[in-house]
Amino acid sequence: MTLPTLADSPFLPFTRPSIDEDTIASVAEVLRSGWITTGPKCKALEAALSQRFAGRPVRLVNSATAALEMALRLVGVGPGDEVITTPLSWVATANVILTVGATPVFVDVDPLTRNIDLGAVEKAITPRTRALLPVDLAGLPVDRDRLYAIAQQHHLRVIEDAAQSMGSRWNGREIGTFGDLVSFSFHANKNMTTTEGGCLVMNTEDEARLFEKLRLQGVTRFPDGGMDVDVLGGKANLTDVAAAIGLGQLQQLDTFNQRRRALAQQYFERFARDLGFELPPEDFSNSNWHMFQPLLPASLPGHLPTRGAFIETMRTCGIGVGVHYPAMHLFSLYRSRGHRAGEFPQAERIGERTVTLPLFPGMVDGDVSRVCEAVKRVMRGAVS
Ligand SMILES: *Cc1c(COP(=O)(O)O)cnc(C)c1O
Residue-wise pLDDT tens digits, 314-365: 999 999 999 999 999 999 999 999 999 999 999 999 999 999 999 999 999 8
Per CATH, 21-248 and 252-379 having the same topology is answered no
One-letter amino acid of 58: V
Active site residues: 190
Instruction: Give the architecture-level CATH label for domain 21-248.
Output: 3-Layer(aba) Sandwich (3.40)
Distance 124 CA to ligand 1 centre (A): 24
Q: Print burial letters for 150-182: b (CB count within 10 Å at least 16), e (below 16).
A: bbeeeebbbbbbbbbbbbbbbeeebbbeebbbb
- Quick one: pLDDT at residue 8? 60
| Helix locations, 90-239, DSSP H | 92-99, 118-124, 144-153, 205-215
- Quick one: pLDDT at residue 216? 98
Q: For residues 89 and 286, give the distance between their C-alpha atoms in angstroms, rounded to a whole number.
A: 19
- Quick one: pLDDT at residue 384? 63
Q: Under CATH, which number does the domain 252-379 receive?
A: 3.90.1150.10
The number of the ligand 1 atom at minimal distance from the alpha carbon of 137 is: 13
Residues with CB under 6 A from ligand 1: 63-65, 89-90, 92-93, 135, 161, 163-164, 185, 187, 198
Delimit the domains of the chain by residue range: 21-248, 252-379
For the entire predicted model, the pTM comes to: 0.96
- Quick one: pLDDT at residue 9? 77
Listed as ranges, residues in the chain with pLDDT below 50 are 1-7
The number of the ligand 1 atom at minimal distance from the alpha carbon of 68 is: 10
- Quick one: pLDDT at residue 383? 83
Distance 63 CA to ligand 1 centre (A): 8
The number of the ligand 1 atom at minimal distance from the alpha carbon of 189 is: 1
- Quick one: pLDDT at residue 2? 45
Q: For residues 251 and 129, give the distance between their C-alpha atoms in angstroms, rounded to a whole number.
A: 39
